[in-house]
């Protein structure tokens, strides 16, 4: 293990890594099973680093810890479930190291990496993981056990020292990283807030979940329009599999019970989601009957209805149009279908529980 060579590799990738190491010099701590960031800064297990195949792999580990620091992952956890936050943060960091800095993933370490997660901020990815609870036996590359106690005054002072040490080029790099994270946040219809290093992060976790649901892609579809390239080169013509956007139905309860402030909240939220996301589908205005169906891009905030409430007509209409996901904005005061349907209910916090589907208390 050659630390001079490791530092050269990191310097070649970005001078920001060198600045981080100057403020947070890695220290050997064999109580740490791999590597991590804690109250004393960056730490590593010597036996773990020496077990890696090359200095390139070791540089990846150190860069991984640097990215946690510069991305403010410790500060941004903010009471979230530590396991799922750590997994989301590691996906985010590893994607950045590969896509932005040209690192290759170390072999045989089980590094968390999924290019489908590239569009998502850490907050949004966390909500997706919490929704699916489908991380299997995935574990983080490094040790995050000290994150909950890492925010000491000395750590915060070190962060300020780090920011002050950056030159204009490096500050530009950090600014681009901030803008990238904010772009992912805004793309999911979220309002940003401030974190310790000036990063803008989401504060409305339910909004993040809602945005991730509306942006979620459908399963891979079979298409003959583009043949399978691997087989076509061998003279075999078979369909390929490609992702197509799921058609979404946003149903708005326009009955008399939702008039006033709640209706305005429905309109503002729906308009924000449509404006901020590239989605395909319809807005369905319904009380006890469907009054209007319009493409999402034509939604102007005007609501049609005002009578009693039945959820049956809107759900039936959405399914008849081939919508794979139905988001229903309502107060849940109405008649439900007798059979279960795949519906996500967007409701006030004091609403009851629907007989089927998923409830998100957003208002």
**Last residue of some domain: 190, 209, 228?**
209
Residue 354: its H or E element? none
Q: Measure the CA–CA gap between 150 and 75, rounded to whole angstroms.
A: 9
Gyration radius of the chain over CA positions:
24
- Lowest pLDDT segment from 49-53, 97-101, 358-362: 358-362
Do 184 and 276 lie in one domain? The reply is: no
Q: Do 260 and 236 belong together in one domain?
A: no
Q: What is the CATH number of the domain that holds 310?
A: 3.40.50.410
Q: Assess whether 229 and 319 both reside in one domain.
A: no
In terms of Cβ atoms closer than 10 Å to its own Cβ (0-12, 13-18, 19+), residue 60 is buried
> Domain check: are 254 and 228 in the same one?
no
Residue 293 has pLDDT above 80, yes or no: yes
For residues 204 and 190, is the Cβ–Cβ distance under 8 A? yes
| Residue 358 predicted with pLDDT over 70 | yes
For the chain, the average pLDDT equals: 76
Q: Does 148 score more than 80 pLDDT?
A: no
Q: Are residues 250 and 269 in the same domain?
A: yes
82 and 129 fall within a common domain? yes
- Specify the pLDDT at position 6: 92
Q: Which segment of 13-17, 100-104, 134-138 scores lowest on mean pLDDT? A: 134-138
Strands 239-245, 217-227: pairing kind: antiparallel
Domain of 342 in residue numbering reads as 246-361
- Asked whether residue 320 carries a pLDDT value surpassing 90, the answer given is yes
Helices (H), 166-311: 168-187, 205-215, 229-232, 261-276
Give one DSSP letter per residue of 10-60, joined into a string: HHHH-HHHHHHHHHS--EE-TTSSSEEEETTEEEE-HHHHHHSS-HHHHHH
> In terms of domains, do 65 and 193 share one?
yes
- Position 172 pLDDT exceeds 80: no
pLDDT at 186: 43
**Is the model's pLDDT at 200 over the cut of 80?**
no
Same domain, 143 and 162: yes
Total length of the chain: 363
Give the C-alpha distances (Å, rounded to integers) separating 235 from 7, 223, 225.
50, 18, 16
Q: Which of 225, 283, 265, 284 lies closest to 348, judged by CA? A: 265
Instruction: Say if residue 30 is in the same domain as residue 122.
Output: yes
Residue 13 or residue 225, greater confidence: 13
Across the range 249-259, mean pLDDT stands at 92
Residues 270 and 291 in one domain: yes
- Which pLDDT does position 134 carry in this prediction? 55
- In b/e form, how buried is each residue of 63-86, taking b as 16+ CB within 10 angstroms? bbbbbbbbbbbbbbbeebeeebbb
Greater model confidence, 253 or 362: 253
Q: Based on the domain organization, do 134 and 267 belong to the same domain?
A: no
Structure tokens at 25: 């010099």
List the Cα angle 136/142/144 in 5-degree steps.
90
Q: Say how many domains are in the chain.
A: 3
Q: Check whether residue 257 and residue 223 sit in a common domain.
A: no
Of all residues in the chain, the percent with pLDDT exceeding 70 is: 67
Q: What is the pLDDT of residue 206?
A: 47
Q: Are strands 192-194 and 200-202 parallel, antiparallel or unpaired?
A: antiparallel
Task: Answer with the one of 164, 184, 209 that is the final residue of a domain.
Answer: 209
Is the pLDDT score of 169 beyond 80?
no
SS3 assignment, position 180: helix
């Amino acid at each position: 293990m050659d630390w001079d060579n490791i530092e050269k590799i990191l310097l070649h990738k970005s001078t920001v890594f060198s600045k981080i190491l100057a403020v947070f010099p890695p220290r050997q701590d064999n109580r740490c099973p791999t590597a991590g960031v804690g109250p004393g800064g960056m730490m590593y297990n010597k036996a773990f680093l020496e077990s890696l195949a090359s200095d390139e792999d070791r540089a990846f580990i150190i860069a991984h810890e640097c990215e946690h620091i510069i991305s403010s992952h410790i500060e941004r956890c903010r009471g979230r479930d530590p396991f799922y936050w750590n997994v989301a943060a590691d996906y985010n960091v590893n994607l950045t190291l590969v896509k932005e800095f040209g690192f290759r993933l170390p072999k045989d370490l089980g590094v968390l990496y999924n290019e489908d997660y590239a569009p998502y901020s850490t907050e949004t990815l966390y909500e997706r993981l919490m929704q699916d609870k489908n991380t299997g036996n995935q574990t983080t590359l490094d040790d995050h056990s000290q994150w909950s106690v890492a925010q000491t005054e000395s750590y915060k002072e070190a962060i300020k020292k780090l920011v002050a040490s950056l030159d204009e080029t490096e500050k530009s790099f950090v600014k681009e990283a901030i803008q990238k994270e904010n772009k992912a946040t805004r793309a999911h219809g979220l309002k940003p807030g401030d974190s310790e290093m000036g990063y803008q992060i989401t504060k409305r976790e339910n909004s993040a979940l809602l945005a991730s649901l509306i942006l979620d892609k459908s399963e891979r579809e079979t298409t003959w329009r583009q043949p399978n390239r691997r087989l076509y080169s061998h003279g075999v013509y078979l369909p390929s599999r490609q992702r197509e956007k799921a058609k979404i139905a946003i149903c708005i309860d326009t009955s008399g019970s939702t008039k006033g402030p709640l209706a305005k909240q429905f309109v503002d939220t729906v308009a924000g989601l449509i404006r901020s996301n590239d989605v395909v589908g319809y807005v369905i205005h319904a009380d006890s009957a469907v009054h209007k169906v319009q493409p999402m891009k034509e939604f102007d905030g005007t609501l049609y209805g005002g009578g009693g409430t039945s959820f049956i007509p809107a759900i039936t209409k959405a399914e008849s149009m081939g919508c794979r996901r139905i988001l229903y904005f309502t107060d849940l005061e109405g008649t439900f279908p007798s059979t279960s349907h795949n519906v996500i209910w967007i409701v006030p916090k004091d609403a009851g529980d629907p007989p089927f589907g998923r409830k998100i208390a957003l208002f």
